[in-house]
């Protein structure tokens, strides 16, 4: 069955129950009101900080948008781009696209005008729906996107070249479209995170979406009484597929627009959220805010919060130990996934395996996982050898990189998805990420895995974040440079960092240090290409440790 069937069922079983809540604390701040002072009944809907939608209204809006698209000429396997910030309309629009038999193409809200044009062209997008935050960017490249036949706008002050979503969608039927959608139909194109250059378009069938939903619900046991606090962007498979676990049982979701520690904790309290998915930087910021008394959690109601889980990047074990010390009643889990494998859950730690914190886990529900060496042989558990993580799962692996057969052939081999992530396996069979294959630093013939060094440096009390990259060296080929972001109000010198890193094996110690902000993308991944662009050709400007 397609994922849209769950929405139809939820609307019938729980018509008056709340499906979605949008919380926008920024609106409160714009009006100069504190959390406690804010009047929830703001006369102007555009200025309300909180909006909600029932399951019946969710399904009705999806159906109306589907009919709106069909009436405008959208056809099966047409490509509909979605360029929106997280908002109450996002998921109904997405599900409406799927109900037409067209292919949903979520776009990263951080894309520049050039990247929007590139992705629209690459994915053959013929219909675009976008929000007010993107008007200038769309304006800039509108004439360079000739494939666009239909443009819709979500918000006030609709541009002349677009059709207003809110003004027109209500004129269409709320009945189910007479379109049969099957598991084997093409359903979505997601873009790779672009951490290795321009993003690739990843094509999935409807069966992939269903696989993600079932896997998520099995892993985290969502019930109708759960309430998921969704903070990451919905264009990303991680946020959406975690939400789909709740969709299978008609659970509520709160969409929070903002990542401030206060906003996260107060929203979890006020909305009585039971499950929160965080990225590493947000979890660190929350703990720092509690420690500094920026947020007083004694004022909050958090006893109902049962599960905190993290994904999208390697998780420092020290962070989780610190978290569980602060929130001992929480279950903790981590999920590994990638867009090519329809997001989270292909590898899964499991709340029962907290003694293996630091691992990404074992093969998730419905998945197989192997760590393979260059010759194709499988790494033996407990051997200490490193190989590439490979995955296989019925219905969960992408069809292809759209219009890129060369990259597809490199990534999909004999039914296995080669992830590009390097990993090792402990004696119990738990998989530990070592690094991205393309991020491995080869110095004097030795392989250095930056994640291992980063995990160690994060143990320094002054360090907020760190990224280790390779920079050219005439003698060793590459050496490790550590870009260190310090916590506010702390000081640390290069000599102090060198002294701290003396506990590492000599070949793993960074040879150069820079104190600067560590850039991360919207899904929390370190933007190492950006750092290599900044520092990779400037070794003369960086103090390099002399070979002793």
Q: Give the separation between CA 151 and CA 99, rounded to whole angstroms.
A: 19
What is the C-alpha separation between 51 and 22, in angstroms, rounded?
Answer: 5
Supply the pLDDT for residue 545: 44
Residue 360 token pair: 């990404």
When mean pLDDT is compared across 177-186, 269-278, 451-460, the lowest value belongs to 451-460
CATH architecture under which domain 306-437 falls: Roll (2.30)
Is residue 446's pLDDT more than 80? no
> What is the tally of helices (H) and strands (E) in the chain?
16, 27
* Residues 87-105, mean pLDDT to the nearest whole number: 97
Predicted confidence at residue 475, as pLDDT, reads: 62
Lowest mean pLDDT across 207-211, 455-459, 474-478, 516-520: 474-478
H/E stretch holding 280:
helix 280-291
Q: What strands lie across the sheet with 252-256, from one edge to the other?
A: 50-54, 18-23, 252-256, 227-230, 275-278, 307-311, 331-338, 343-348, 362-363
Produce one character per residue of 235-244: b if its CB has 16 or more CB atoms within 10 Å, e if not.
bbbbbbbbbb
Q: Which pLDDT score is estimated for 316?
A: 78
Q: With 0-12 CB in 10 A as exposed, 13-18 as middle and 19+ as buried, what is 471?
A: buried
Residue 371 corresponds to which tokens in the numbers above? 């760590």
Say how far residue 536 (Cα) sits from the centre of its chain. 27
CA distance 522 to 107: 12
**Across 54-68, 72-86, 439-453, least confident range:** 439-453
Q: Please report which confidence band the pLDDT of residue 448 belongs to, taking 50, 70 and 90 as the band edges.
A: confident
pLDDT at 314 over 70: no
* Domain 440-541, CATH number (from 3.30.499.10, 3.40.640.10, 3.20.20.70, 3.30.300.30): 3.30.300.30
CB 226 within 8 A of CB 245: no
Burial class (CB in 10 A: 0-12, 13-18, 19+), 298: exposed
pLDDT over 70 (residue 38) = no
Q: How far is CA 207 from the centre of its chain?
A: 20
Alpha helices in 327-460 (DSSP H): 405-411, 450-457
C-alpha–C-alpha distance, residues 235 and 42, integer Å = 29
pLDDT of residue 540: 40
Average pLDDT over the chain reads 88
Residue 97 half-sphere exposure toward CB, CA atoms < 13 A:
27
Q: How far apart are CA 81 and CA 83, in angstroms?
A: 6
Q: Is pLDDT at 153 greater than 60 in this prediction?
A: yes
The residue that leads in pLDDT, 221 or 1, is: 221
Could you tell me the pLDDT band of residue 199, with boundaries at 50, 70 and 90? confident
Residue 432 has pLDDT above 70, yes or no: yes
Fold of 4-258: Rossmann fold (3.40.50)
Strands in 512-515's sheet, in edge-to-edge order, are 463-473, 477-486, 512-515
Q: What is the mean pLDDT of residues 68-96?
A: 97
Residue 537's pLDDT band (boundaries 50, 70, 90)?
A: low
User: Which residues of 252-381 form beta strands (DSSP E)?
Assistant: 252-256, 275-278, 307-311, 331-338, 343-348, 362-363, 367-372
| Sequence ranges of the chain with CATH classification 2.30.38.10 | 306-437
Domain with CATH 3.30.300.30 in the chain: 440-541
């Amino acid at each position: 069955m397609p994922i849209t069937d769950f929405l139809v069922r939820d609307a019938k079983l729980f018509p008056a129950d709340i499906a979605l809540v949008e919380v926008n604390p920024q609106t409160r701040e714009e009006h100069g009101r504190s959390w406690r002072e804010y009047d929830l009944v703001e006369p102007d809907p555009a200025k309300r900080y909180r909006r909600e939608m029932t399951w019946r209204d969710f399904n009705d809006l999806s159906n109306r948008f589907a009919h709106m698209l069909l009436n405008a000429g959208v056809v099966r396997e047409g490509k509909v781009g979605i360029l929106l910030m997280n908002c109450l309309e996002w998921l109904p629009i997405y599900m409406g696209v799927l109900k037409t038999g067209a292919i949903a193409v979520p776009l990263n809200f951080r894309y520049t005008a050039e990247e929007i044009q590139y992705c629209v062209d690459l994915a053959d997008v013929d219909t675009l729906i976008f929000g007010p935050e993107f008007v200038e960017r769309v304006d800039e490249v509108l004439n360079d996107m000739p494939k666009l036949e239909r443009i819709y706008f979500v918000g006030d002050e609709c541009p002349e070249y677009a059709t207003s979503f809110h003004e027109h969608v209500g004129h269409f039927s709320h009945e189910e479209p007479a379109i049969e959608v099957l598991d084997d139909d093409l359903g979505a194109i997601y873009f790779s995170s672009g951490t290795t250059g321009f993003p690739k378009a990843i094509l999935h069938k409807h069966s992939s979406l269903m696989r993600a939903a079932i896997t998520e619900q099995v892993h985290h046991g969502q019930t109708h009484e759960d309430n998921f606090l969704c903070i990451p962007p919905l264009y990303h498979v991680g946020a959406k597929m975690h939400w789909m676990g709740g969709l299978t049982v008609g659970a509520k979701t709160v969409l929070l627009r903002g990542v401030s520690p206060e906003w996260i904790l107060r929203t979890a309290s006020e909305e009585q959220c039971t499950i929160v998915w965080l990225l590493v930087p947000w979890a660190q910021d929350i703990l720092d805010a509690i420690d500094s008394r920026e947020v007083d959690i004694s004022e909050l109601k958090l006893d109902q919060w049962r599960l905190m889980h993290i994904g999208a990047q390697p998780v420092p074990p020290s962070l989780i130990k610190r978290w569980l010390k602060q929130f001992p009643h929480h279950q903790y889990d981590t999920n590994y996934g990638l867009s090519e494998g329809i997001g989270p859950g292909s590898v899964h730690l499991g709340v029962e395996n907290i003694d293996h914190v630091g691992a990404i886990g074992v093969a998730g529900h419905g998945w197989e996982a192997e760590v393979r060496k260059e010759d194709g042989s499988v790494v033996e558990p407990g051997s200490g050898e490193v190989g590439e993580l490979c995955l296989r799962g019925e219905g969960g692996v992408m069809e292809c990189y759209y219009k890129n057969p060369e990259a597809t052939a490199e990534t999909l081999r004999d039914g296995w998805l080669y992830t590009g992530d390097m990993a090792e396996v402990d004696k119990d069979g738990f998989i530990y990420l070592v690094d991205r294959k393309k991020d491995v630093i080869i110095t004097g013939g030795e392989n250095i895995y930056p994640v291992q060094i980063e995990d160690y440096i994060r143990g320094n009390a002054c360090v907020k974040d760190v990224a280790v990259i390779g920079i050219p060296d005439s003698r060793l080929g590459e050496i490790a440079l550590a870009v260190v972001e310090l916590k506010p109000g702390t000081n640390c010198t290069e000599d102090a960092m060198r002294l701290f890193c003396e506990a590492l094996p000599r070949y793993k110690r960074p040879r150069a240090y820079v104190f600067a902000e560590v850039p991360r993308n919207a899904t929390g991944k370190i933007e190492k290409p950006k750092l290599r662009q900044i520092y990779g050709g400037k070794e003369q400007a960086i103090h390099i440790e002399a070979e002793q």
